[in-house]
Amino acid sequence: MKRDRIFIETNRAGRYLSSADSRFTLQWPRNVCQTDFRMDTCMQPVDLTTFNQFCQHFTHECEGLLAVGPIIELNFEEINLLKPIQFTLPILVQPKKKNKVETPRPNPDQATMPTTPAATDPNNPLQVSTSQPSQQDLINQQQQSIFKSVLGEGNFAIHIFTNLSFQIDLNNERLVLLYSGFNDNNWHIDADLKLNDSKTHDLITTNIQYLHSRMIIVRCDKQLMPLKRLQTTIGLLEQILTQRTALFLLRHRQSNPNEICLVCCSNQRTDLVEQEIQQENYTNLNEQTKEIVLQEGQLLELRFRGNVLPIDNQQKSIPFAFNTYFPFYFETNIKEIDKYSQHLSSYFYGFIQIFSKQKVTKTTNAKDIDKKKPQIENVESDICLAELLVVLPKPPIEMPKAIQKSLPTFIGEGVLTPTLFRDMSASLNNDEWRKLARRLGVTRIRIEAIEHDFHEDAPYYMLLAWFKRVARSSDKVLILMQALVSINRWDLAQDLQSIKEDKRIEQRTLSKDGRTVSCFFFN
């Protein structure tokens, strides 16, 4: 809303013309006060569309309400006026209903007559008036141009009331000026003022010596609108004018899901904001959107809850104010607090909360014994207005690498040597090594484990595993020969027997040579 500053000098008369609406004027004489002072003005406009919608939504409260003016705010220092200041306040004018008149179509069979200007006949309903626009039409056009300059071309529209008529009985009409303070939500009626209506019913002139912080002019019907209900209705109108529909948009950056962007904007700017965040490479997948009703300039706080927090979390809450024309952007990188929590989910999650301070009625017990009734106080408390889910995908789980088992070492014993086991395993065909393992007493689970760990070398390591499990007192060569015979590998059993015999002969020869050497030494 546009704001103007007025400087009133004591020894000089002056006149102020509002930049928001030229119909709102102030005029003061000389020596209006003892000292010079400044006064700021601000106007909350009320157009016919808003007024029409308000009357339709609140039919009972608006019964008998004919027109209102804008809400005027005056911000000034405490000062006593010696003389009154003349205020000219605008007020809405309901457009008259115009009956559409259809002109008769010419009959081609009849001869065309020359058109000559004729006098206006009030009894002829088919006659089309060619007179100039009336003064009321000029006033309506002036209101349209003013509202277009204040509200913008796109938001301006004029709707004709269907349930109210401009033709009012002037005897039942009442003009009322209501005032209120900045910190006062109640409206009061100033009955000491004399309000002068203009001929066109769009301007109200009055002299005010006691200035009010906020004021509004109202035209109503005496019989249908009582004064008590009028005060409540104007308070409801002010609440509707200051309310705005706001959207909270939460997006993740496409290249980095840990980077998020939260936008608080007016409902009218959603498309523009969506285009801006898409240009910044923010994705619309799994989008979070919340719509709430806020007041212009309402103070809000942004907080985090759950297992997700900004990386720079030194500031627990981020304050900001809602503004219709300036969206609020908040970009940050988030991370999880505890990576071991939410283990059943494929992502970490938390919440962004929007808080606002509001007055809440709280009942407290009386401390004094004499007081039987509890005390009711209005306490300012934090209220959560909205909550948006923040999702952070978990990194892919890395499968643990397979532990490479160290190859078992083997020291030969007699005939059974690593070389013998190598040659024997190479001679076994297909599944013969599995059959041999079963004959040697190796379990099936052990056989599968050896095959899984050693693949092509499984027959060789099966023989090693069997050799290490056999008791030392057992005849390992005999056991192996019997197992080879049971799987019909007679050739390998005979080769093993031959090697055993050769080893025995070699050991006898070595023992004889040792005896001969020892006898020679003693002789």
pLDDT 10s digits, 449-496: 888 888 888 888 888 888 888 887 788 888 888 888 888 888 888 888
CATH 2.60.220.30-classified regions of the chain: 3-95+137-225
User: Looking at residue 376, what is its pLDDT?
Assistant: 66
Q: Is the dihedral of CA 338, 339, 341, 342 positive or negative?
A: positive
Specify which residues 43 forms β-bridges with. 72
| Tokens read off for 290 | 């919340």
Window from 37-46, 98-107, 336-345, 415-424 with minimum mean pLDDT: 98-107
What integer pLDDT is reported at residue 53 of this predicted model? 86
Q: What is the pLDDT of residues 50-103, one digit of tens each?
A: 898 899 989 999 999 999 999 999 998 888 899 999 999 999 987 754 444 444
Which class does domain 3-95+137-225 fall in?
mainly beta
Please say if the pLDDT value at position 126 is more than 50: no
Q: Are the C-beta atoms of residues 24 and 42 closer than 8 Å to each other? A: no
pLDDT in tens, 257-316: 899 999 999 888 888 999 999 888 898 777 789 999 898 888 999 999 999 889 876 677
Per-residue pLDDT reduced to its tens digit, 172-183: 889 999 999 887
Mean pLDDT, the chain, integer: 80
Residues 6+ apart with CB under 8 A from 481: 493, 496, 497
pLDDT at position 216 is: 95
Phi, psi of 201 (to 5 degrees): 60, 25
Q: How many whole angstroms from its chain centre is CA 303? A: 12
Question: pLDDT of 151-204, one tens digit each?
Answer: 444 444 433 333 343 344 457 889 999 999 887 778 999 988 999 999 888 999
Residues of the chain with CATH 2.60.40.2660: 244-367+374-393
Class level of CATH domain 244-367+374-393: mainly beta
The model scores a pTM over 0.75: no
- Quote the pLDDT of residue 416: 82
CATH superfamily name and code, 418-520: Death Domain, Fas (1.10.533.10)
Domain with CATH 1.10.533.10 in the chain: 418-520
pLDDT at 36 over 60: yes
Residue 257 tokens, joined: 């899901």
Position 429 pLDDT exceeds 50: yes
